[in-house]
Amino acid sequence: MVRYTCRVPALKVNDDLNRTLVFVHPPQRIVSLVPSDTHSLIALGAGGRLVGRTRYCESIEAAAVPTVGGTKDIDVDAVLALAPQLVIANQEENARPALEALAARVPVFVSLPRRVKDGVAHLARLARILGVGEEPQAKELVRRGYQLAGATQPSRRAFVPIWMDPLMTLNADTYGSDVLAHVGIANVFGDRLRLYPLAADLGKSAPQDAGGRDVRYPRVTLDEVRARAPEIVLLPDEPYAFTATDEDAIRAALPGVPILRVSGKDLFWYGAWTIDAIDRLARQLAA
């Protein structure tokens, strides 16, 4: 008698750094270095596979999971001690040296979504890696993501600071700006690139070659903000917690322009979070 062994073909998936990861079996031990990805894992029904997280991954379902530092100060040894079969990371949120050290030892799946559709595609890839793509909970979540409407006709022009000292904002090539476009908000700094050095970014010297550095988060002055004539200011509560004093300074520079505090998660958390956040943010802005 001849016996045949049926082998499931290995899954090959490219991450946003265009690196190919190969999975013979769905990973059962996962460390998430990104709060929004931790949320997505739980939303896909795979929260029980989480063995490590950052201290910023505050989901109730992840509360008992060991922490491995913050998004910028990852404890590489602590991650490796958990024997993960997959580490989920983000090029923007996590420090490159730590990711390179981990990638030399374990599979590291790195994301860098710049559009809402990119975040949904990332969620779908996670579902495939986890082997839950056909499970009802995950399948319905991804379906809802792909059914999200695209950018709408802008009704208002907004200034969205993300830091106060120095004053920083984001341009159109960012996830948060695309979320705003989906709810009819035009980013007044959509076309603004970050210039190097700092003096050039503030209009005090000639710009130099950016040398491949990120140019999506310019530093601006309140005078430049005023010149862009925003109709509303949106103050997210992360990555920076704007104080009442910060708000007063912005209000003084833009008299008569309404200021609305919004959830930073609703703007910047890609994947599963966005699927509900867009409607929530649209209702808040409409109100």
Tens digits of residue pLDDT in 71-110: 999 999 999 999 999 999 999 999 999 999 999 999 999 9
Minimal CA–CA distance to 233: which of 257, 264, 265, 267? 257
Residue 20 pLDDT: 96
Locate tokens 């890696």: which residue?
129
* Residue 153: pLDDT over 60: yes
pLDDT tens profile 12-64: 999 999 999 999 999 999 999 999 999 999 999 999 999 999 999 988 899 99
Please give the Cα distance from 5 to 210 (Å, whole number).
55
Q: Mean pLDDT throughout 172-189? A: 98
Topology (CATH level 3) of domain 11-146: Rossmann fold (3.40.50)
As assigned by CATH, the class of the 156-286 domain is alpha beta
161 three-state secondary structure: coil
Within a 10 A sphere around the Cβ of 223, how many other Cβ atoms? 10
> Which 3 state secondary structure label does DSSP give 88?
strand
* Residue ranges of the chain assigned to CATH 3.40.50.1980: 11-146, 156-286
